[in-house]
Amino acid sequence: MVLRRENQHFFWDSRQDFSALADVVNEMIDTVEQERISEVRLQVDQKVLEQVKPKHLFYKLLHAIKSLTDYDHSAALLICDEDGGSMEVVAEQVAFQKRKGENVGLALPLDRDTRKLLKSGQPFGFDRQDGAWEQWAGAEAATLVELLDYNPMMATDRFPAAEHSMICVPLVTKDGLIGALKVASIHAGTLREYETDLLSQFLPQASVALQNLKRTESLENQVIAAERKYAMAELARGVAHDVNNALGAVLPLVQQMQTDLEDGFFDESETKEDLQEIEKSLLVCKRIFNGMLHFARNETRNASDVSLALVIESALSIFRQSLERHKVQVIVAVPADLPMIEAVQADIEQLVLNLIGNARDAMEPNDELRIVASAEEQFVVLEVTDTGCGIPPDHLAKIQEPFFTTKADGNGLGLAICRSIVAQLRGQFKIESELGRGTHVTVKLPYRNGG
């Protein structure tokens, strides 16, 4: 605060009054800042309680940082890998654009000295002067600023101006280093002690939230992995009969062809028909095994664009023989041009396999399985309907609970995992059933950027 008088001096009592006014204003500013920090903390806590996916919490943190510091270049959240050998940019917010930052996924190697600097927990501040970085906060950290200087110095469409002011605040808990937050502005001197103090008050709580979320995600992944192994065993048991039938048809044909050749009764047209039957049976085995291998190998936990149509096609390649053997009529209405779902491929495959497998187990000969998919208002909608035995009303409220099962050899995790996968994607999961008439499952999954 500054007051000026042209060609006059202030009297001493006026100076005292102004000083008292400045103290009151400072107190008011401190109160406002504490309220802002409390509000941001509350928002982060709410996201944790909602059990959102890590990506959603990452961007909520960056949005909170924007409201606290009002940076005009970019901010990025970097998380350490398990062995602490590198940090990955897991979220980036660019002040000029609202789309996902192009640096997401960038891995930065951490040497021992830089890791030690970050573990100290103290904030670091840098300004670029005449093309070189000068440090104004924290211990000497030339290796750190060099590591974080990954954005182009020259203006681009994405960054109309280069960063000339940077703050790096480590994310540290009592269990160790989680990662770091980088905030950058266009002009040197824009980010100073005021911003580092704000972030230093807010980020310890955010670090704990991130650590708890990583632990929760790790536990969820372990449960899903366990269910995938159980599902593989179930699939193996389910298709064993179909594979045996296919190979059982091949063996006598091959033996008969060998006998005919040895006895000199070779018939070209009959042999051609036998080879066609052998080829058909082997293709059945190949389709089943390919589907199972694809499901078994797809263990990556990175989100990508997933085609629901291809997932359904792959799942049906495994179950088709079994469904035909049970004389179940299968009706599929799934457009190939459905919008892509941004998800973990293995999760969507497990979701579809569980739904089709449950429907198959509930049906008798001449029942009908209908699989329909469509797009509507930011959602891809999957509907799986069977005309099987249905679910008793007293069971309907419990079937999505973990470990509840009506199957003699079931583990009660299938539908619970389905619900968890859909919830992680911020989708909707609904089961309707009538005893003796069948079950209708509706899954709504949001698709990426509206298309």
Q: Which residues pair with 135 in a beta bridge?
A: 126
Q: 2 exposed, middle or buried (CB, 10 Å; 0-12, 13-18, 19+)?
A: exposed
Calpha distance 228→138 (Å, rounded): 47
- Rounded to a whole number of angstroms, the CA Rg of the chain reads 31
By C-alpha distance, which of 83, 43, 347, 326 is closest to 225?
347
pLDDT of residue 223: 60
Between CA 32 and CA 26 the distance in angstroms is: 10
Q: Which neighbouring-strand residues pair with 372?
A: 333, 383
Strands (E) across 365-425 are located at: 368-376, 379-386
Burial class (CB in 10 A: 0-12, 13-18, 19+), 245: middle
> Which among 32, 411, 27, 367 has a CA at the least distance from the CA of 198?
32
Residue 450 is given by DSSP the state G
How far apart are the C-alpha atoms of 270 and 263, rounded to whole Å?
A: 15
The pLDDT value recorded for residue 408 is 46
Instruction: Please count the residues of the chain.
Output: 451
Q: d(Cα 134, Cα 330) in Å, to the nearest integer? A: 68
pTM for the structure as a whole: 0.46
Burial of 422 (0-12, 13-18, 19+ CB in 10 A): buried
CA–CA distance from 131 to each of 84, 161, 442 (Å)? Answer: 31, 14, 58
Question: Which structural domains are found in the chain, ordered by start?
Answer: 51-191 (3.30.450.40), 218-450 (3.30.565.10)
Listed as ranges, residues in the chain with pLDDT below 50 are 48-52, 402-404, 408-413, 450-451
